[in-house]
Amino acid sequence: MAIPYPHFFGSEKSAMEKGILVHSPSSSSSPSVILTQDELKKIAAYKAVEYVESGMVLGLGTGSTAKHAVDRIGELLRQGKLKNIVGIPTSKKTHEQAVSLGIPLSDLDSHPVLDLAIDGADEVDPYLNLVKGRGGSLLREKMVEGACKKFVVIVDETKLVKYLGGSGLAMPVEIIPFCWKFTAQRLQDLFEDSGCVAKLRTFGEKGEPFVTDNGNYIVDLYFKKDIGDLKIASDAILRLAGVVDHGMFLDMATTVIIAGELGVTVKNK
């Protein structure tokens, strides 16, 4: 069941002050403020930070949604409402953000088991399997979030899909640069029955290859049909020499927080 935003923020006035408003229970009129996607992301992120307690070792996610959570953690540390937090960032960008906010940082070598990680996702299926990595940080995200006791995922309702790949957008695969065309072709051939198209991720006017924090390339897979059994698909991808990892996060999320027009929905494994 969705928690209405006035309840989530404490009052309708509070919701309006944050620039967010839904239908009033006592009125059938339309909302005077339209929820933007970024506002929905922020709501989900703030709800996720409620799971954070002083003394925790936290995995700090990467991306536009996770950024709001990291900002909120920094804010609560400054206010003294959180203490003795240690963050493990999932990218160079998140590392820089956390340093600017004064969040103490460490790594998996020093903290091989984390209490909690908070991150966004590009797709969430009905079983809480995820596609992540459209921001390019999938490998470090999977390493950190795979070492957590709890993994809280924060999304807006546009990220919900019937099956992974169902949005028609990219399912990323991180590969080594050596003979990337060869690897991309093998990935495409692997999912020929699903109408797969494999494209090297590029950036800039010259179309230079996007390079991850680990010095690798990313091949984005686009599917026209359901790829079937996800664990079989995962194993097939990982067996290919030249593949580092893929953006399917299977059976990893313990909680998914979804912000939509009607409120916040929390789904647990």
Domains, the chain: 37-161+251-260 (3.40.50.1360), 171-246 (3.30.70.260)
Beta strand 208-209 with 86-89 is unpaired
One of 141, 145, 205, 208 is an active-site residue; which one? 141
pLDDT score, position 216: 98
The arithmetic mean of pLDDT across residues 115-122, rounded, is: 97
Alpha carbon distance 98, 2 (integer Å): 31
> What are 8-57's pLDDT values in tens digits?
444 333 443 343 434 434 444 444 467 788 888 999 999 999 999 999 99
pLDDT score, position 17: 35
> What are 150-166's pLDDT values in tens digits?
999 999 999 999 999 99
Q: In the beta sheet, which residues pair with residue 116? A: 58, 150
Cβ atoms 235, 227 nearer than 8 A: no
- The tokens describing 172, both together, are 């990323």
Alpha carbon distance 86, 8 (integer Å): 27
Examine the residue annotation and report whether 141 is marked as an active-site residue of this protein.
Answer: yes
Sign for the CA dihedral angle at 69, 75, 79, 85 comes to positive
Alpha carbon distance 144, 166 (integer Å): 26
